[in-house]
Amino acid sequence: MNCIWCNIKTSSSKSDKGKREYANNEHIFPAHLYKNSELKRPSLFLKQGKVCEACNNRLGHIDKSLKYRDNMMLKKFQDANQIFNEPPGRKGKKRDRKRKLEESTEIRHHNNSTVVKREGSSTSFINPTFFKYDEKFSKAIHKCAVNVLYNELEYDYMKSHFSKLIEFVNSSENNFSEWSFAVCFSNPNSNSYFEPACFQKIIINDVIVALALLLPSAIYLVGTKPNLINVDFLKNNASGFRDFIDWDDENFKLSECFLESPYFAKKSFKTFGEKVKYSLIKKEIKGKPNPKDSFYLLVKCKTCGQTNPTGVMLPKKSALDKINGLSSGNKNSWNFHSKEDLDILCPNVKFSESFVKDFELKYGINYTPENDVKKMNISNCKAQCINCNDLIIYEAKDCFL
């Protein structure tokens, strides 16, 4: 057998332990997604020899992102605390035990600002942000897809059909914008625990083009080829999930756990399909900085979250001249202040050079109530998203600077 990541011919013989070609066992989905007591079940592993130990270790950091770079997953870990973080036993390493103890009351997102807290039996978010494309999380979810495929398929078939997918996970140089995915979050108020699994494969012309992966936090629709998961794909393929309903049994309605998550679906995103509400997660295209004398009027795409220019430019004079002093608004990659703005905002004050630099790069744009773009005379306007090409219909309250 060959390692799917480094292609080396592997050996599973104990006597080769320590050698470069030695291959131990690799979980199909990362081990931290299973109950501790279930971890050793043979069906959870790839056939020994399919991933060498060196690659297993080398790519281990990607698996970790599934937990620490997704807010809903953190929530599930905290909700199902007893399942995931079983009481720190004597067996674990000291450092692991310490971490688990800390995480039993507070799990922190990789970005350091979002926390999921537990008080008694209730858990809550602090500073959550959703629907963001995280590069490492994207790799982690695509790595699960490679494992699911390699669990059933032979090495040669994998290399001839899914080499781009394998390369995306394996390589450090990536074009992340080609690897979008779709998500349908589970109900945040449901405490149900799902064992990770692939519950559906979308097959076109005899090739598996996408997998629906069920994780404790959400269903992820992951493509096996670049540039595949987009608005049209979702519209055409994500509506009829018959297999999804087949997972239900009398005591447990899996479908309800996902159908009942209107909070996420309604909030800002378009929904796809009748049964499962997917949102497209696509890496955001960076903005073009504004001209010195005006700001872009911006609007967010409800399908992919991309910040889009509406085509309207607002002269800085009218946006800035009534503001008393400085306070920072939300930052985006389109509108920047220039140092001339400081003279309008704070006449007669001399700022240090380093402050001026900071102001130009890091200060978001603020407006006074009289200049509020949300009160402009804009309704039923249309634009096409620069990222996912979906139609954006917006009015003044959707706009910002």
Contact residues for Zn ion, defined by CB under 5 A: 3, 5-6, 52, 55, 301, 303-304, 306, 385, 387-388, 390
Q: How near is the Cβ of 153 to Zn ion at its closest, in Å?
A: 17
What CA–CA distance (Å, rounded) separates 15 from 18?
9
Q: Can you name the residues that pair with 222 across neighbouring β-strands?
A: 211
From CA 267, how far away is CA 262, in angstroms rounded? Answer: 8
Q: Which residue number, 290 or 387, has a Cβ lying nearer to Zn ion?
A: 387
Give the residue with the Cβ less far from Zn ion, 361 or 391: 391
Other Cβ atoms within 10 Å of 364 Cβ, number: 15
Least Cβ distance, residue 357 to Zn ion (angstroms): 32
Q: If you search the block for the tokens 């809550």, which residue do you land on?
A: 124
Minimum gap (Å) between residue 388 Cβ and Zn ion:
3
**18 phi-psi bin (left φ>0, alpha ψ -120 to 50, beta other):** left
Nearer to Zn ion among residue 127 and residue 389 (C-beta): 389
The string over 328-360, giving b where at least 16 C-beta atoms fall within 10 Å of a residue's C-beta and e elsewhere, is: eeeebebbbbbeebbeebeeeeeeeeeeeeebe
Smallest distance from the beta carbon of 34 to Zn ion, in angstroms? 23
Burial (0-12, 13-18, 19+ Cβ within 10 Å), 47: middle
Task: Closer to Zn ion by CB, 212 or 385: give it.
Answer: 385
The smaller minimum CB distance to Zn ion, of residues 116 and 281, is found at 281
* Amino acid sitting at position 296: Y
Task: In angstroms, give the least distance from the CB of 54 to Zn ion.
Answer: 6
Residue type for 217, please? S
Q: In what order do the strands lie in the sheet with 399-400?
A: 307-315, 294-300, 399-400
Q: How far is the CB of 241 from Zn ion (least distance, A)?
A: 23
Cβ-based nearer residue to Zn ion, 238 or 388: 388
Q: Output 203 or 391, the one with its CB closest to Zn ion.
A: 391
Cβ nearer to Zn ion, comparing 217 with 279: 279
Which positions ≥6 away from 284 have C-beta within 8 Å? 133, 305, 306, 307, 387
Q: Which is nearer to Zn ion, 55 or 228 (CB)?
A: 55
Comparing CA positions, the residue from 59, 78, 57, 53 lying closest to residue 67 is 78
Give the nearest distance from C-beta 190 to Zn ion in angstroms.
29
Q: Taking the complex as a whole, how short is the minimal distance between the CB of residue 128 and Zn ion, in angstroms?
A: 21
**Which CB, 390 or 398, lies closer to Zn ion?**
390
**Paired tokens of 190:** 């449901």
Instruction: Name the minimum Å distance from CB 233 to Zn ion.
Output: 14
Q: How far is the CB of 18 from Zn ion (least distance, A)?
A: 15
Strand order across the 207-214 sheet: 197-204, 207-214, 218-223, 181-185, 279-281
Q: For residues 148 and 27, give the distance between their C-alpha atoms in angstroms, rounded to a whole number.
A: 10
Q: Is the dihedral of CA 107, 109, 112, 114 positive or negative?
A: negative
